[in-house]
Chain A
């Protein structure tokens, strides 16, 4: 960023706007505080009235019960397998394809790249009916593979990696050319390490996307033991508040959001870049 020696008064944020933003932040955080509060209360106490949340005593019983119900961990495991699988798959496919599109010449390169770009505009809902039938024939419903594969068609990763490979200075290939390095070794030894920042961005974006996906797992994973965490949490909401109690449900929400919240706190910068970049494409 250019050094700014001179800052006009009008450029500074007004105090009024900032105070308003603070108030909005309080409003935006109130639901979170509410859920955390409820999750720490005894379900029976909440039955009598949720005002109880503002008074002692608090308890961790809901979280203990949560750990007792093994189902949540099964779902957690499924989400983890799917998100990691999809992330690894997308990174491998996108890096290879990005290298080809960004730095190599081959027949129909431009046509194929335009086709891939077109894929960016295809919403998942447009292919869902046919994809569901296809996975039926393949017998892939209710498998981890079946949950992972649709995510691998994401054109965004290829687009991002192509841009990144293109930005690497030409001199690097030229040096490698003198040594007669074959393309794959050049890719593996020289190019790939240079794309690590992009790999991190794409990896985080893909992981979050896969972890939070609801639409495809809802349709593909119909067996309870194959639910991902998102579908599992949704399914346990059906007899809302009657069977399990607000405290327990709230504890579930907090527990399920913990992994992403921790990842968010650790990698905030990367995540913001990844998500913003993902939107602009």
Chain B
């Protein structure tokens, strides 16, 4: 066998070079440069002086940042369980493949292919006071009108509703894939015992897909932590910052107030949070592959 050809050669690395150069120049370098920026007082007119972790301290003390962090945590803590539960429900309801369930799967997934601007445009028109779809329904039922996008407490909720509507397809599909993997013989014993549906669900189905549940939850945590477009376009973070998420804080500090160093520090904090979640995801995903 002419193994000589297979041996390690610099030349073989040329295939990877175009990507590696792009990757280094436009991802690795900005990542390092961003960290450097976060340690400096920088504004629009170029790099400034070294300030150590001053930017981080200022960001962590900024009430706007704290509120944005809290908003993001509330948002993640409410949308992620909703997406997991609803996704699991849809997967269970549509697991048995027929023409009708295939159609419904396609329907529930369809919103995922829309861009955030279309999703928010749709939901803003649904939520507008007096004229929106929800307002019409409330009117019809004789309920008091609510300014969904302009009331504290409701604004983040409304952003969450649009987000769940937008993102539900992926959890459903991942759960469907996991349900298909459960060996049929697991259910045969249950059938012999005449177990009812609830017992089958809690004793067989859920334990069998518990890693997928975890995986879906982490994927969604990573995604929802990056909330930006929905909040920016539907409520602009308002009223009074009650629906401003972390990424929007970074955007405003960096590209509206042009406090570059401080925005860089805030983005490093976000990166750290997401990195932790992604690491957990990686561990779960690799364990998942080994397990099956």
A215 contacts B31, CB within 8 Å?
no
Of B60-68, B77-85, B128-136, the one contacting chain A is: B128-136
A252 contacts B226, CB within 8 Å?
no
Q: Which residue of A is nearest B277, CB measured? A: A121
Could you tell me the distance between the alpha carbons of A233 and B26 in the complex, rounded to whole angstroms? 28
From B2, B131, B174, residue with most partner A Cβ within 10 Å? B131
Which residues of A148-190 have CB atoms within 8 Å of chain B's CB atoms?
A: 149-150, 152-153, 155, 158, 173-174, 177-178, 180, 183, 187
Which residues of A5-25 have CB atoms within 8 Å of chain B's CB atoms?
A: 6-14, 17-18, 20-22, 24-25
A261 contacts B26, CB within 8 Å?
no
B271 contacts A93, CB within 8 Å?
no
Q: Interface majority SS on A: helix, strand, loop or mixed? A: helix
Determine whether B33 belongs to the interface, using a CB cutoff of 8 Å to chain A. yes
Could you tell me the distance between the alpha carbons of A271 and B110 in the complex, rounded to whole angstroms? 10
A4 contacts B282, CB within 8 Å?
no
A120 contacts B278, CB within 8 Å?
yes
Determine whether A194 belongs to the interface, using a CB cutoff of 8 Å to chain B. no
Query: Taking the nearest CB of chain B, how far is it from the CB of A36, in angstroms?
Result: 10
A240 contacts B124, CB within 8 Å?
yes
B16 contacts A100, CB within 8 Å?
yes
Determine whether B48 belongs to the interface, using a CB cutoff of 8 Å to chain A. no
Q: Out of A4, A129, A229, A253, name the residue touching B260 (CB < 8 Å).
A: A129
Contact with A along B10-23 (1 / 0, CB 8 A): 11111110111011
- Chain B interface size, under 10 / 10 to 19 / 20 to 34 / 35 or more: 35 or more
Q: Which residue of A is nearest B162, CB measured? A: A31
Could you tell me the distance between the alpha carbons of A21 and B110 in the complex, rounded to whole angstroms? 15
Q: Which residue of A is nearest B106, CB measured? A: A268
B116 contacts A214, CB within 8 Å?
yes
Known interface pairs A10-B187, A18-B93. Does A260 touch B282 (Cβ–Cβ under 8 Å)?
no
B184 contacts A6, CB within 8 Å?
yes
* Contacting residues, chain A, for B270 (C-beta < 8 A): 123, 125-126
Q: Out of A29, A105, A208, A215, name the residue touching B229 (CB < 8 Å).
A: A215
A281 contacts B254, CB within 8 Å?
no
* Contacting residues, chain A, for B19 (C-beta < 8 A): 93-94, 96-97, 116, 152, 158
Could you tell me the distance between the alpha carbons of A240 and B37 in the complex, rounded to whole angstroms? 37
A127 contacts B184, CB within 8 Å?
no
Contact with A along B83-102 (1 / 0, CB 8 A): 00000011011111000110
Determine whether A196 belongs to the interface, using a CB cutoff of 8 Å to chain B. no
Contact with B along A236-266 (1 / 0, CB 8 A): 0100110000100110110011001101100
Known interface pairs A112-B16, A122-B271, A230-B116. Does A13 touch B122 (Cβ–Cβ under 8 Å)?
no
A106 contacts B12, CB within 8 Å?
yes
A105 contacts B27, CB within 8 Å?
no
Q: Which residue of B is nearest A24, CB measured? A: B90
B165 contacts A31, CB within 8 Å?
yes
* Contacting residues, chain A, for B73 (C-beta < 8 A): none
B255 contacts A28, CB within 8 Å?
no
A21 contacts B104, CB within 8 Å?
yes
From A13, A180, A213, residue with most partner B Cβ within 10 Å? A13
A246 contacts B125, CB within 8 Å?
yes
Could you tell me the distance between the alpha carbons of A4 and B180 in the complex, rounded to whole angstroms? 12
Q: Out of B8, B27, B233, name the residue touching A107 (CB < 8 Å).
A: B8
* Contacting residues, chain A, for B70 (C-beta < 8 A): none
Contact with B along A80-101 (1 / 0, CB 8 A): 0000000000001110110111
* Contacting residues, chain B, for A13 (C-beta < 8 A): 92-96, 101
Q: Which residue of B is nearest A254, CB measured? A: B118
Could you tell me the distance between the alpha carbons of A174 and B184 in the complex, rounded to whole angstroms? 40
Q: Out of A49, A101, A126, A281, name the residue touching B31 (CB < 8 Å).
A: A126
Could you tell me the distance between the alpha carbons of A98 and B125 in the complex, rounded to whole angstroms? 44
Determine whether A55 belongs to the interface, using a CB cutoff of 8 Å to chain B. no
Could you tell me the distance between the alpha carbons of A87 and B263 in the complex, rounded to whole angstroms? 30
Could you tell me the distance between the alpha carbons of A124 and B58 in the complex, rounded to whole angstroms? 23
* Contacting residues, chain A, for B26 (C-beta < 8 A): 131, 134, 149-150, 152-153
Determine whether A73 belongs to the interface, using a CB cutoff of 8 Å to chain B. no
* Contacting residues, chain B, for A64 (C-beta < 8 A): none
* Contacting residues, chain A, for B29 (C-beta < 8 A): 130, 134
Determine whether A197 belongs to the interface, using a CB cutoff of 8 Å to chain B. no
Known interface pairs A17-B93, A105-B7, A126-B31. Does A132 touch B254 (Cβ–Cβ under 8 Å)?
yes
Determine whether A67 belongs to the interface, using a CB cutoff of 8 Å to chain B. no
Q: Out of A101, A153, A237, name the residue touching B23 (CB < 8 Å).
A: A153
* Contacting residues, chain B, for A279 (C-beta < 8 A): 170, 174, 219
A264 contacts B110, CB within 8 Å?
yes
A35 contacts B122, CB within 8 Å?
yes
* Contacting residues, chain B, for A264 (C-beta < 8 A): 110, 113
Determine whether A32 belongs to the interface, using a CB cutoff of 8 Å to chain B. yes
B274 contacts A126, CB within 8 Å?
yes
6 closest cross-chain pairs (CB), A and B? A8-B191, A126-B271, A100-B15, A106-B13, A212-B115, A121-B278
14 further A-B pairs in the complex, CB-CB below 8 A; given A97-B20, A105-B6: A7-B184, A8-B190, A17-B92, A18-B101, A21-B94, A34-B122, A104-B6, A126-B270, A134-B26, A149-B22, A212-B114, A256-B115, A260-B113, A261-B110
10 contacts between A and B (CB under 8 A): A28-B107, A28-B111, A50-B131, A105-B6, A106-B12, A107-B10, A149-B22, A177-B1, A249-B125, A272-B109
